[in-house]
Chain A
Amino acid sequence: MAQPPDRAPPRDPWTHLAALTPARIALGRAGPGLPTREVLGFALSHAQARDAVHTPFAAAPIARALADLGLATLSVESAAPDRATYLRRPDLGRRLSDRARVELEARTFPPCDLAIVVADGLSSAAVHAHAAPLIAALLNRLEGVSIGPVALASQGRVALGDEIGQALGARLVAVLIGERPGLSAPDSLGVYLTFAPRIGLTDAARNCISNIRAAGLSYDEATFKLAWLIGEARRLGLTGVALKDESDLAQLPSVGGAILPQG
């Protein structure tokens, strides 16, 4: 049974600040510790995040949504055969399974400017919720950029996009991937953009946009940044630490508006 409210430790007298952030502030205290409601509330959030890690990736609904946008898809999987192996062996999550590699090698793809990879990463909930709408928003911001088939990758890590992008003959690869679930954000999506993808690149060669979710970075903001980075990457012929995200200096146009600084 819960304590009667008048006996529970009160929150701190600056709860008005708590409206300004989803962070856990003005919690109140019981001596140096947390009030009981906060201790158990935290434990419940942790239990939800733990469960989110293990939700299986469902590619079919994403493939249907992308088909509606006129995008072809192909399903691939990493060399990690299951979730337990995936968690202990990130090296397997960065490489295609033998089956997927053989399939990609057997087909020929016309070279493209941009390959898109949708990978479950550590939160399939994130890609289930955000991958298709984010791609739809991105298409509205890109002009004159050829896009290859979208790879839907299970048990995938970021670097899996290097092998896929290379196989697809892409100049750039954008990997949309579920970020590791936080207590307050079980469905946060990240995007990693890599120029001239090939096996063996490190994260220094990528640009990242993270925290794409309802209470984080909106589709509109995220695709504005992504389209800006794609434009700059094509202009400069690189991504990574040498490409500073200065999209803030460009004005965010209204939804569906035109694009980006041509360089």
Chain B
Amino acid sequence: MAFHQTAGAQRYAFADLRELMAKATPLRSGDALAGIAATTAQENIAAKLVLADLPLKALLAEPLVPYEIDEVTRLICDSHDAQAFAPIAAMTVGEFREFLLAETTTGETLQRLSPGITPEMAAAVSKIMRNQDLIAVARKIRVVTRFRNTLGLPGTLSVRLQPNHPTDDPAGITASILDGLMYGCGDAVIGINPASDSLAAISDLLRLTDGIIRRFDIPTQSCVLGHVTSSIELIERGAPLDLVFQSIAGTQAANASFGVTLALLKEGREAALSLKRGTVGDNVMYFETGQGAALSAGAHHGVDQQTLEARAYAVARAFDPLLVNTVVGFIGPEYLYDGKEIIRAGLEDHFCGKLLGAPMGCDVCYTNHAEADQDDMDSLLTLLAAAGINFIMGVPGADDIMLNYQSTSFHDALYVREVFGLKRAPEFEAWLEGLRITGPDGRLAPRNAAHPLLAAV
């Protein structure tokens, strides 16, 4: 179905919904790389004007990636809950934006609607929302998940402790873990990106983190971010694995480039559930995503990268994850060129994920070949905290010495807690206070070289 719009003196034509969505997207380098971005500022707004008048039903009727060739589309269509969708079924995209913003639309309302909202609807409405809209709506929605603690409660923000080391050295990783714990971080997960993808190396790291968690009775979980097939194999070999990790994307072909299918993710989840290692809940999956992944794999089908990212959250929510992390600036300047594009993408991802019911965190980050710096990260971190994000990364000094990029630090977490009065997961907060790492106000207690945690090395 073709669309037309007059804006100013010019009449614009959009051949189909896919083109309309791409051209309505706020400009970013990845869509330009794909050759699908609006070519002028006015064309971008003309597309938004058309999109605002589009019925939500049209997004349901015309899948952007064909049903026949893509299992993610099939998942989205087949699991769509028409009853949940009914209250918004008559709205246009523009009316949906206004509905989302209304004071009378509560988080509970949005949670009930969630199974009726497709990623294409979430993406479409986000394209006509300003940054403040993305924050104002997302902050209404809490997605609470549990494994050994409770993540995502109102007034909390959690941190993945990311103690990576370039050679997976156990002493080096342990040193970073202890530093992070002494800074009050690690309630989302202690999650290591292994330098080696060998099963022996991953198994050693699992035993290392499991040993620390058990020795100090820490109410948190660990994860080594290897491939799902490695996790399944290690579970069979008896490794102490809490969470199954996998990078995922919004098309079947992009997931194939990661070496995964929906069936394989299901198998991974069932393997983790069989261990029954969670104490307060059974959310056992940890997913990472990021705009540009499908394009990077040549698997984007001409669809804009932000819409495909929202489709990745539809994949994620089907597996009841503990954590979904958009690694927003990691992919590089060919997808998100500078601080402005990274900030916009981070807010879009968080909004779309929360609207779809995913427990969203964000790796607020950039690489050294992008036009961005730590000031941009401060801005995005502050905006996401205002938007009620579930978790962020805690990397020592914000410098990941294994993956070679900059993220947020243990100090950044202190900053954002101070500014917004945010607490950690309650079980973890109590553990920190019990060990006198923090005082009753949640702030760091005076440091003591004889602290029992430091005797671990």
User: Which A residues lie at the B interface, using CB under 8 A?
Assistant: 12-14, 17-18, 20-27, 29, 31-34, 38, 42-43, 45-46, 49-50, 52-53, 87-91, 122, 179-185, 188, 200, 202-204, 208, 210-211, 213, 215-217, 225, 240-241, 244-249
Minimum-distance CB pairs A-B, first 10: A24-B397, A182-B404, A21-B172, A32-B414, A13-B449, A241-B259, A25-B179, A17-B175, A49-B368, A248-B200
Q: Quick check: B447 and A13 within 8 Å, CB to CB?
A: yes
Q: Quick check: B399 and A17 within 8 Å, CB to CB?
A: no
Q: Report the minimum CB–CB distance from A80 to chain B (whole Å).
A: 11
Between-chain CB contacts (< 8 Å), 27 pairs: A13-B447, A17-B454, A21-B171, A21-B172, A21-B173, A22-B166, A23-B172, A24-B396, A24-B397, A27-B396, A27-B411, A29-B414, A31-B418, A33-B411, A38-B397, A42-B397, A42-B398, A46-B406, A52-B368, A88-B32, A89-B334, A90-B33, A179-B404, A180-B369, A180-B405, A183-B399, A211-B167
With both beta carbons as reference points, the residue of chain A lying nearest to B419 in the complex is identified as: A32
Q: Report the minimum CB–CB distance from B330 to chain A (whole Å).
A: 10
18 further interface pairs, Cβ-Cβ under 8 Å (given A25-B176, A248-B196): A12-B179, A17-B175, A21-B175, A23-B165, A25-B397, A45-B399, A46-B368, A49-B368, A87-B334, A87-B369, A88-B29, A90-B296, A180-B367, A180-B405, A182-B405, A213-B166, A225-B196, A241-B227
Q: Report the minimum CB–CB distance from B437 to chain A (whole Å).
A: 12
A184 to B172, CA, bound (A): 15
User: Which chain A residues lie closer than 8 Å to B29 at the CB level?
Assistant: 88
Q: Quick check: B402 and A249 within 8 Å, CB to CB?
A: no
Q: Quick check: A180 and B332 within 8 Å, CB to CB?
A: yes
Bitwise, B403-419 to A at CB < 8 A (1) or not (0) is: 11110010100110110
User: Which chain A residues lie closer than 8 Å to B406 at the CB level?
Assistant: 46, 183
A213 to B428, CA, bound (A): 38
Contacts A17-B179, A33-B415, A216-B167; is A24 near B399 (CB within 8 Å)? Answer: yes
Cβ 8 A contact of A91, one of B33, B171, B227, B259 = B33
A115 to B164, CA, bound (A): 32
Q: Quick check: B368 and A14 within 8 Å, CB to CB?
A: no
A203 to B169, CA, bound (A): 26
Q: Quick check: B172 and A50 within 8 Å, CB to CB?
A: no
Contacts A17-B178, A42-B397; is A180 near B414 (CB within 8 Å)? Answer: no
User: Which chain A residues lie closer than 8 Å to B256 at the CB level?
Assistant: 202, 204
Q: Report the minimum CB–CB distance from A201 to chain B (whole Å).
A: 10
Bitwise, B230-273 to A at CB < 8 A (1) or not (0) is: 10010000000000000000000000111100000000000000
A184 to B175, CA, bound (A): 17
Contacts A180-B367, A217-B167; is A247 near B411 (CB within 8 Å)? Answer: no
Q: Report the minimum CB–CB distance from A37 to chain B (whole Å).
A: 12
With both beta carbons as reference points, the residue of chain A lying nearest to B368 in the complex is identified as: A49
A244 to B229, CA, bound (A): 10
Q: Quick check: A90 and B411 within 8 Å, CB to CB?
A: no
Q: Quick check: A182 and B175 within 8 Å, CB to CB?
A: no
Q: Quick check: A204 and B198 within 8 Å, CB to CB?
A: no
Q: How many B residues touch A, CB cutoff 8 Å?
A: 68
Q: Quick check: A216 and B179 within 8 Å, CB to CB?
A: no
User: Which chain A residues lie closer than 8 Å to B401 at the CB level?
Assistant: 21-23, 182-185
User: Which chain B residues lie closer than 8 Å to A29 at the CB level?
Assistant: 411, 414, 444
Q: Quick check: B198 and A247 within 8 Å, CB to CB?
A: yes
Q: Quick check: A248 and B179 within 8 Å, CB to CB?
A: no
Q: Quick check: A180 and B165 within 8 Å, CB to CB?
A: no
Which of the listed residues B174, B397, B449, B454 has the most CB atoms from chain A within 10 Å of its own CB?
Answer: B397
User: Which chain B residues lie closer than 8 Å to A21 at the CB level?
Assistant: 165, 169, 171-173, 175-176, 396, 401
Q: Report the minimum CB–CB distance from B225 to chain A (whole Å).
A: 14
User: Which chain A residues lie closer than 8 Å to B396 at the CB level?
Assistant: 21, 23-25, 27
Cβ 8 A contact of A14, one of B182, B369, B404 = B182
User: Which chain B residues lie closer than 8 Å to A18 at the CB level?
Assistant: 175
User: Which chain B residues lie closer than 8 Å to A14 at the CB level?
Assistant: 178-179, 182, 449, 454
Q: Quick check: A87 and B333 within 8 Å, CB to CB?
A: yes
Q: Quick check: B199 and A20 within 8 Å, CB to CB?
A: no
For the complex, is B457 an interface residue (Cβ under 8 Å from A)? yes
Q: Quick check: B404 and A188 within 8 Å, CB to CB?
A: yes
With both beta carbons as reference points, the residue of chain A lying nearest to B228 in the complex is identified as: A241
Q: Quick check: B178 and A88 within 8 Å, CB to CB?
A: no
With both beta carbons as reference points, the residue of chain B lying nearest to A25 in the complex is identified as: B179
Q: Quick check: B175 and A20 within 8 Å, CB to CB?
A: yes
Cβ 8 A contact of A180, one of B399, B404, B418 = B404
Which of the listed residues B404, B409, B414, B457 has the most CB atoms from chain A within 10 Å of its own CB?
Answer: B404
A202 to B296, CA, bound (A): 9
User: Which chain A residues lie closer than 8 Å to B172 at the CB level?
Assistant: 20-23
A182 to B447, CA, bound (A): 30
Q: Quick check: A122 and B369 within 8 Å, CB to CB?
A: yes
Contacts A182-B403, A216-B167; is A90 near B198 (CB within 8 Å)? Answer: no
Q: Report the minimum CB–CB distance from A158 to chain B (whole Å).
A: 11
With both beta carbons as reference points, the residue of chain B lying nearest to A211 in the complex is identified as: B166
Bitwise, B149-171 to A at CB < 8 A (1) or not (0) is: 00000000000000111110101
Q: Report the minimum CB–CB distance from A84 to chain B (whole Å).
A: 10
A38 to B447, CA, bound (A): 19
Q: Quick check: A12 and B447 within 8 Å, CB to CB?
A: yes
Contacts A13-B447, A45-B399, A180-B404; is A32 near B198 (CB within 8 Å)? Answer: no
A20 to B165, CA, bound (A): 10
A241 to B172, CA, bound (A): 28
Q: Quick check: A180 and B368 within 8 Å, CB to CB?
A: yes
For the complex, is B319 an interface residue (Cβ under 8 Å from A)? no
For the complex, is B374 an interface residue (Cβ under 8 Å from A)? yes
